[in-house]
Amino acid sequence: MNITETRTAAASQPRQGSFIKAVSAVVWKDLQAEFRSRELFSAMLVFSLLIILIFNFALELDVKTRQSVTSGVLWATFAFAGTLGLNRSMAIEKDRGCMDGLLLAPVDRSAIYFGKVISNLMFMLIVEVIVLPVYSVLYSINLFQPGLLLVILLGSIGYAGVGTLLSAMSVQTRTRDILLPILLFPVVIPVILSAVKASGGYLEGLPFEEILSPLSLLIAYDIIFIAVAFMVFDNVVEE
C-alpha cells in the first residue's frame, strides 16, 4: 500500500465513524421523543390489537382454515399499523420543526434516512413482538417459528425502508394522511405478497424449496427498494 492509499484509508475511517454517529443520533432522538410521549407506539399497538380482535370475531372458522388465512391477516395488520406509524413519525418531525433542524445539520442526508428507517423499523418490531403472542393465543397457532420470524423481519425492513422515503415526500403536503397510503401500498405490494407467500409456506410446513422463491424475491425487493430510496432521499427532502 502506497502513501496515497494509506491517507485515503485513514481519511475514510473518520467519515465512516461520523456517519454511524449521525445515524445513531437520529435513532436515539426518535426513541427518546417516543419514550416521553408514547404517542406513536400506543397508536400503532392499539390499532394492531383492534384489527386482530375484529378478524378474530369475523373469521369464525375451523382451526385448519384459520391457519390458512393467518399470513394474510398478520401482514394486513402489520401493513396498516406500519402506515399509521410512518405517517405519524414524519408528521411529528414536521409539526415540531425537527425536520428542518435535521436538514440543516452538517451530516450526510443519507444518515438521516437510515436513522429514520431504523427507528421506524424498531417501532414496528416492538408492536409485532406484542402482536404475535396475542395472535397465537386467540387463534391457537404457534407463530414463533424461526423461518416465520425471519420473514417478518425481512418484510418489516422493506416496508420501513420504502415507507420512510414516501412519508418524507407526503409529509410536505396538506393531505399527507391520505396521500401516504395511496403512494405506499402500490409500491410495497411486491414486499407484502412475497412476505405473505413465504409466511404461509412456513405455517403450512412446506418444503424449503417451495418457500425459497418468495423468500428470495423478498430479499431482492428489500435491497432494491432501500438502494433506490437511499439514492433519491436527498432530492426528496430538498423539494
Angle between helices 208-238 and 146-170 (to 10 degrees): 20
Q: What secondary structure letter does DSSP report for 194?
A: H
Please give the pLDDT value at position 70: 85
| pLDDT, block means (10 residues), the chain with 239 residues | 40 63 86 80 87 80 70 90 84 71 74 90 92 87 89 94 88 78 90 93 89 93 90 78
Please give the pLDDT value at position 212: 93
Grid cell, residue 152, equals 417478518
Report the distance separating Cα 206 and Cα 124, nearest Å.
Answer: 27
Please give the pLDDT value at position 222: 92
Please give the pLDDT value at position 197: 93
**What distance lies between CA 94 and its chain's CA centroid?**
20
Nearest C-alpha neighbor of 16 from the set 122, 121, 117, 108: 108
Please give the pLDDT value at position 118: 92
Grid cell, residue 14, equals 473518520
Angle between helices 109-139 and 3-37 (to 10 degrees): 50
Q: Judge contact between 85 and 167, C-beta under 8 A.
A: no
Q: Judge contact between 111 and 22, C-beta under 8 A.
A: yes
Q: What secondary structure letter does DSSP report for 140?
A: T
Nearest C-alpha neighbor of 90 from the set 165, 174, 24: 165
Please give the pLDDT value at position 11: 42
By three-state DSSP, how is residue 172 classified? coil
Please give the pLDDT value at position 211: 92
